[in-house]
Each structure stands twice: as structure tokens, then as C-alpha cells.
Amino acid sequence: MWVNAALVQIDIVLSNKKANMQRIKTLMTSVFNRQIILLPELWNTGYDLARKQELAEDLAGESVGFMMELAREKSAFVGGSILHKHESQVFNTFVLVNARGVVATYDKVHLFKLMQEDLYLTQGQTFTTADLGFAQAGLSICYDLRFPEMFRHYTNQNAHIILLVAQWPTARHEHWLTLVRARAIENQCFVLACNRVGGATHNEFNGGSMAIDPWGVILAEGNREEGVVTAEMNLGHIKVARTRFPVLLDRRKDLY
């Protein structure tokens, strides 16, 4: 089965939800026939964590509403992370929606101390696998990429696609290139990774959103500019890769 995806790279305007929504609308005007659309990490506000209580929303808020509107317009699953308020706590939450509503959520498990996420946000406690109908998808956010155990867990849960949204800085772009491919190769799955572009107070972001196949082949890759990276994935290639090179069968589950 073929699955089509769109990865939306934007230069996030700090704390300006309406500007970020409008930019996504503009970029998506001429994009059609995509079953999966990914937006970057904290696509609506950026990392203005000091204003978390003001900026955070619940799942009935305007940002999730915007995602659902986009999902209806494009007949697609739409995913991206937002500052999510739940009772007295605020999470960095990956929200996945379709035209009918919220399909799944994932609260970021690995908080990035270098950006003081741990001082402002509540740490997630569980991983999330979402049923897309045509495949199971594991949800992940930025810094999670450095923890391969998480992605192996998703493989053990029969996830064939990993969805990753990020604000990964230019200074560590080589790590991004290596780790996104590594997660696909070691789990023999597809990885869709959406990164932001542009500048922030202390960081510059290089884009480079990518779609990777189970052999580690780059199917599509963005540059440093705003835009939409589109990719086509043949899910049948997962079975081919795992049959021709059955590395997953040689795991020593008795040892690790």
C-alpha cells in the first residue's frame, strides 16, 4: 500500500498562534492527496515556556481546532505538538487528529534540560502508538530521537511508521541526519521527521525534514527554507526489508 505524507517546515513566530496558523494555511494551499500531514514541535507558539500558562490549551482549544480543520480540508491525519494544559499541569504534547477529532496524544517523555523543559513542563509517562487504519504509528518528539529504546518499543508494538516532530537546531544538524536514518535502519520501518526552520532567541533551525524508508534511504528531504516536503511510501517495503535481512529475529530477548 502506498501512503503519501507532507512535512510542513515553518519559521515559527514566537507566541503568535494566528501568524503560525496563517503560514501553514498558505503553504498547504496547493498540497493535496496526502494521508499524513506533520507540523513541527510546538508549531503554534514555539518555546516561550515562561508564558506556558497563558499559551497552553486543552484539546478543545483553537490550535487543535485548526489541526482538525486542516484534517477535514485535506482528508488527512494531522500531527504536531503543542503546549497542552491538563488540570494544573502543562505538557509538550503530540496531538494527532483526523476529520472526526483527536485520534491520539503523546506527552513528551524525554524533556530537554538544555532548554529547561524540565523546569517548566510535566514529564510524560507513557509511549503512544496510534492506529491509522493502514498502519500503526509511534509518536515521538524531538529529543526522544536520542533514545533508541523508545523506538524499539514501538517496533515491538508493531508500529511500521514513526512520526517525529521537532525543533532541532542547526548546531546539531549532523546528529539529526544520522539519528533519523539510524532509527529507520535499526527498526526496519519508515520514519517521517518534521523539523522547523528559521531563528529563535538562542538557536537557529535548519529544517531538513525527512522521510526515510526501512533501508535508511532518504525518500524526501527539505532544505533550510519554509515549505512542504512531500513523500510517497510503499508500506510493502517493510515486509521486504524484514524478510531479506531478518535482523529483528536475531535479538536476544533473554539478555536485553
Which residues are part of the catalytic machinery?
A: 41, 108, 142
Rg (alpha carbons) of the chain, rounded to whole number = 17
Task: Mark out the alpha helices in 2-147 (DSSP H runs).
Answer: 17-28, 52-55, 62-74, 117-120
C-alpha cell at position 144: 526522544
- Of 143, 115, 89, nearest to 200 (Cα)? 115
Distance CA 193, CA 75 (A): 20
Find all residues with CB under 8 Å of 97, minimum gap 6, and list them.
64, 67, 68, 71, 77, 78, 79, 103
- For residues 241, 214, 28, 200, the Cα torsion angle rounded to the nearest 10 degrees is 180
Side chain identity at 174, as an amino acid letter? E
